[in-house]
Chain A
Amino acid sequence: MERLKVISGHLLPRGPSEPLRVLRSCGSGSSVPGTGEEVVVVHGRRTAIGKAKRGSFKDTTPDELLSAVMSAVLADVGLPAARLGDVCVGNVLQPGAGALMARVAHFLSGFPETVPVYTVNRQCSSGLQALLNIAGAIRSGSIELGLACGVESMSLRSIGNPGDLSSRLVENDKARDCLVPMGITSENVAERFGVSREKQDAFALSSQLKAAQAQNSGRFDQEIVPVTVSVTDESGRERRLQVRKDEGIRAGTTLDGLSGLRPAFKPDGSTTAGNSSQVSDGAAAVLLGRRSAVEVLGLPVLAVLRGSAVVGVPPDLMGIGPAVAIPAALRQAGLSLDDIDVFEINEAFASQALYCVEKLGLPLEKVNPNGGAIALGHPLGCTGARQVVTLLNELRRRGRRAYGVVSMCIGTGMGAAAVFEFPGPQREEGGRVAGRT
């Protein structure tokens, strides 16, 4: 069908033949541009990512971090909190995923009691899951606008208590594999798929260098909300400081230094502190809405959510999640890997991130152009939302219509991915955010 192919090419300039889209446009599908039914991202911000237990946020409670980003996002676009249909917060380590903490943050932000809030825990994808939950509520017609957040204080809470589990789990391989420590799953991926120590260290180095360059050239400045906190130093003295820079980035990282580190999880292993994600504190928030509602309010459209997927993978190889989730999300979006300009793939471990990049055949220059969790850190519940903020800022900087993917692996064996479209430079009517410095 030559004509279908040619016209599809007009709609999807970089995907040579994708007849799905044009057929959808002929009907009255809900994702047709112009119908106003699409879920769009209006705006997003994040805090700096602090080093857990040693960094500037070590004494800061997560509700404070959360409140900083929640209020900043709404203030930037001038949206009263009362307009929000719901608020969803991704969190992993607080008791009950921090349901109480989230409501406290909500009031600390001056949000009215009439606006509801809840939390979600899908481990490392919680921040993205919060976004998908809000998107689902918009799509189902329950709400028009919602705030998706993620927050974690790994200073104040640790991964530890697994909760109450049946003793029968030892009889079930998969159930038992859910208890395999994350570092060992990394070793499993490295061994099973032959990801060498050298490659992992080189990947870690490149993450550090890219992040250092992004930080030095001010690329994170616009997305980071400065947070003023009190820190107690070793001598017990309390001091106030404003945190506006990511703390995990080490510009002086060398391959030599990385290769000298001892394996962290097993003596003959290849996963080290240098090629794994860092333990961190941070928060991020993303404002979503139905396009029609967003346009009525004169809010800008930063991006359009085009597809998403969460998939299951073997628990003892949980790191391969993105390699399965990304194609699933792209299928939903009617796009191919070639259509994507930037992939934000969480670097839980260099082993698994590299495996996914190679398995999918992604060009390295498209992956984490501003570094990833190895350099920036991985505040569990925050990460997904943080990646969305960083991705969309990157696409906006590039200044032309483009697609981006956010993906991560998930403990107990899952992967999540979401596909966003940056529609191109803002139209004049929605330029309110542009005025912010």
Chain B
Amino acid sequence: MMATKTFRCPARHGYAVEVSPFVPQRLACAASQYYGITGSGSLFVLDQTETGMVLVRSWEWGDGLFDVAWSEANEHVLVAGGGDGSLQLWDSANQHAPLRVAKEHRQEVYSVDWSQTRGENLIVSGSWDRSVKVWDQDLSRSLTTLQGHEGVVYSTVWSPHIPGCIASASGDGTLRVWDVKAAACRLAVPAHKAEILSCDWCKYDQNLVATGSVDCSVCVWDLRNVRQPVSQLLGHTYAIRRVKFSPFSQTVLASCSYDFTVRFWDFGGSRPLLDTVEHHSEFVCGLDFNLHIPHQVVDCSWDETVKIYSPACLTAAARSAAS
């Protein structure tokens, strides 16, 4: 296993990381002062080098920052969501202020995502005001507001396959699937008997969505039959903060948790838990796979670190599959 690279951000507690879709070694991290309970936020753009990570750019924001997404159209542009209910569009070519700030949400914005399907260039945001909003790429205004969740919205993700389709996860215990064109909820799955903090789409099967919940379980759902999950992954000992499907394997996913661990799963196998990575000393909130470098993973934690590593379980699985 390649050595873990660590970036320290003193007095900033990591909430989200995302690897650039354009530049393999580049990633962004949204972090907050005082564990995001109060104080300001920071957005870091980092490059990994041979030996570690270097800071390319950083911006400060007056309130905590909880999520970040790279533009799928312009390699310099990112969007972040903040505790003041704002979305900010940042340009790494511009040193100082955001290109644009859109403040429509009445409470914390906890998730942002940039659409990936052909012909679309939209942003989605999820907020503690229980709404999901869809925006054009300039954040000039929200195009649609999706209402229906009866609790805080924690996670909003565009389907990588179906245009205008969003999955959202909420404190109301439901996973919802939305049709943006019709501005309607197409499916509400009572996926957990506890808050759901994260969801993600499978990159290889347009019907599969994973959810991570306060009940410590990750569930994989086939949206065609949601009476029971395709798989329930148990092992975390505290709430699951984020789940991400692998960009390289249909049945591999990763989850990070308040139990300080990141776990890797293959729900296609008889022993789904591949590995438990315990390299943080606080809640692990941010997690992403590198699209360009197979098996490379990035995560960030309230312990003021961002880490890049290639878990042995993924590289070993790839080796055994190849042989």
Pair B234/A3 contact, Cβ less than 8 Å: no
Q: Is A116 an interface residue (CB 8 A)?
A: no
A-B contact count (CB 8 A): 61
Q: Classify chain A's interface size.
A: 20 to 34
* Chain A residues near B234 (CB-CB < 8 A): 424-425
Complex formed: what's the CA distance from A6 to B241 in Å? 13
Pair B37/A11 contact, Cβ less than 8 Å: no
What does the 1/0 interface line of A418-429 toward B look like (CB < 8 Å)? 000001110110
Q: Which of B38, B214, B235, B278 contacts A427 (CB 8 A)?
A: B235
* Chain B residues near A424 (CB-CB < 8 A): 216, 234, 237
Pair A1/B37 contact, Cβ less than 8 Å: yes
Q: Is B222 an interface residue (CB 8 A)?
A: no
Pair A4/B37 contact, Cβ less than 8 Å: yes
Complex formed: what's the CA distance from A7 to B261 in Å? 17
What does the 1/0 interface line of B234-253 toward A look like (CB < 8 Å)? 11011101000000000000
Q: A3-B36, A3-B37, A6-B152 are in contact. Are A33 and B239 (CB under 8 A)?
A: no
* Chain A residues near B281 (CB-CB < 8 A): 34
Complex formed: what's the CA distance from A147 to B171 in Å? 42
Pair A33/B259 contact, Cβ less than 8 Å: yes
* Chain B residues near A3 (CB-CB < 8 A): 36-38, 64, 83, 108
Least CB separation from B234: chain A residue: A425
* Chain A residues near B195 (CB-CB < 8 A): 9-10, 13
* Chain A residues near B108 (CB-CB < 8 A): 2-3
Q: Classify chain B's interface size.
A: 20 to 34
Interchain nearest-CB distance for B116 vs A (Å): 28
Interface centre among B152, B171, B238, by most chain A C-beta atoms within 10 angstroms, is B238
- Which residues of chain A from 1 to 59 have a CB within 8 Å of any chain B CB? 1-4, 6-7, 9-11, 13, 25-26, 33-34
Q: Is A366 an interface residue (CB 8 A)?
A: no
- Which residues of chain B from 250 to 264 have a CB within 8 Å of any chain A CB? 258-261
Pair A33/B235 contact, Cβ less than 8 Å: no
* Chain A residues near B171 (CB-CB < 8 A): 6, 9
Q: Is A401 an interface residue (CB 8 A)?
A: yes
* Chain A residues near B216 (CB-CB < 8 A): 401, 424
Least CB separation from B237: chain A residue: A423
Q: Is B35 an interface residue (CB 8 A)?
A: yes
Pair B260/A11 contact, Cβ less than 8 Å: no
* Chain B residues near A425 (CB-CB < 8 A): 234
Q: Is B167 an interface residue (CB 8 A)?
A: no
A–B complex contacts, Cβ < 8 Å, 10 sampled: A1-B37, A2-B128, A3-B64, A3-B108, A6-B152, A6-B171, A7-B35, A34-B281, A424-B234, A428-B273
**A-B complex: 8 closest residue pairs judged by Cβ atoms:** A10-B239, A34-B260, A13-B214, A13-B194, A3-B37, A423-B237, A10-B214, A4-B37
